[in-house]
Amino acid sequence: MAVPLFNLAPNLSVSRLCFGTMTFGEQNTLSDSFRLLDQAFSAGINFFDSAEMYPVPQRAETHGRSEEYLGRWIRDRMISRDRVFLATKVSGPSGLMTWIRGGPMCLDARNITEAIDNSLLRLRTDYIDLYQIHWPDRYVPMFGETEYESTRQFCSISIEEQLGALGRAIVEGKIRYVGLSNETPYGVMKFVQAAQRDPCLPKIISLQNSYSLLCRTFDSGLAECCHHERIALLAYSPLAMGILSGKYFSPDGSPGDARLNIFRGRYSEGESRYNLSNKFIEAATMEYLDIAKIFGLNPVSLAIAFVLRHPLVASVIFGATKSWQLQEILNACQVELTNEIIDEINKIHEKIPNPCP
């Protein structure tokens, strides 16, 4: 049975599973990536997400490989461009990734335009279907931080300038739609209001934020914004970087080739949110694993099905490094969670809310 579709925009249907490619070029070789993409496409997945900074952990030697592999696959397999929906992202300010436009220092018009042009070259395509701002051009708590500190605010590029650059790219045919990622309710509404004031600026159609059994912070504020403004959630990290599969707390010991083991000490963004020594993460995960066992479900199916049932989720963005992992994700599309299962899930959430914010 093929992966179901979702109407993300008028006359635009995307698969409810989106293949995230941030392991391509690091954990996955080119041939590995092609095999996984073939398997996903054959199953009905037409939605693929990348970013200019991928793969992760990010480093100068591998910068851009994820987009390159995805573009080569489309070309080598001679897939008609209108059969796939490509999403990628421009990196926000970062003093660490000096190999990306010197930082990048900001998201001004020049940086956005340069990033789009470079992604088009790596993807070997004339246009990008969904272009997203990877994280805000302003200070916000992210990647495990939960409290806003007003003293950390710094100067930022105006939202009007950012949307203006994206709007010109749409007029030029370089991108089709615009989305945000790792945003806050304040940020979403400022982008919405800017587009309402000036009809020449593009409207945001999607928000790519984390959502899983271990992170339901979207429901506190962002869900209301997205519901009223008709913005779809593209939910990333539905397995909390693999934690909800149970592999890290297995009695046999977590596998050595698991991402949080391979890159221990090298992937601060992931480790700050998915801290395996956090007793609340382990406690909540073990209880969700018990639910899966009681109701005869694969833990992956439980986790993915939970995210898919959210009324504002257009597509679930997942990663996979092995064929059997991808198959587990695909199987989850056939699972429907009963009210009894949801009640048990909510009981755990009330006890241990959002241990991976």
From the list 54, 69, 177, 236, the catalytic residue is: 54
Q: 159-176, pLDDT tens digit by residue? A: 999 999 999 999 999 999
pLDDT for 11: 82
Architecture category of domain 5-241+313-334 in CATH: Alpha-Beta Barrel (3.20)
Tokens in use for 267?
């992937």
Buried b (16+ CB within 10 A) or exposed e, 160-175: bbbbbbbbbbbeeebb
Burial class (CB in 10 A: 0-12, 13-18, 19+), 218: buried
Task: Compute, in degrees rounded to 10, the torsion defined by CA atoms 241, 187, 315, 42.
Answer: -80
Buried b (16+ CB within 10 A) or exposed e, 343-352: ebbeebbeeb
Residue 17 has pLDDT above 80, yes or no: yes
**Boundaries of every domain in the chain:** 5-241+313-334
pLDDT for 155: 77
Q: 160-218, pLDDT tens digit by residue? A: 999 999 999 999 999 999 999 999 999 999 999 999 999 999 999 999 999 999 999 99
- Predicted TM-score of the model (pTM): 0.97
Q: 102-156, pLDDT tens digit by residue? A: 888 899 999 999 999 999 999 999 999 999 999 999 999 888 788 888 888 777 9
Residue 263 has pLDDT above 90, yes or no: no
Per the annotation, the verdict on 148 as an active-site residue is no
How long a stretch of residues is the chain? 357
Q: How confident is the model at residue 1 (pLDDT cuts 50, 70, 90)?
A: low
Please state, in angstroms and rounded to a whole number, the distance separating the CA atoms of residues 53 and 112.
13
Please state, in angstroms and rounded to a whole number, the distance separating the CA atoms of residues 238 and 356.
11
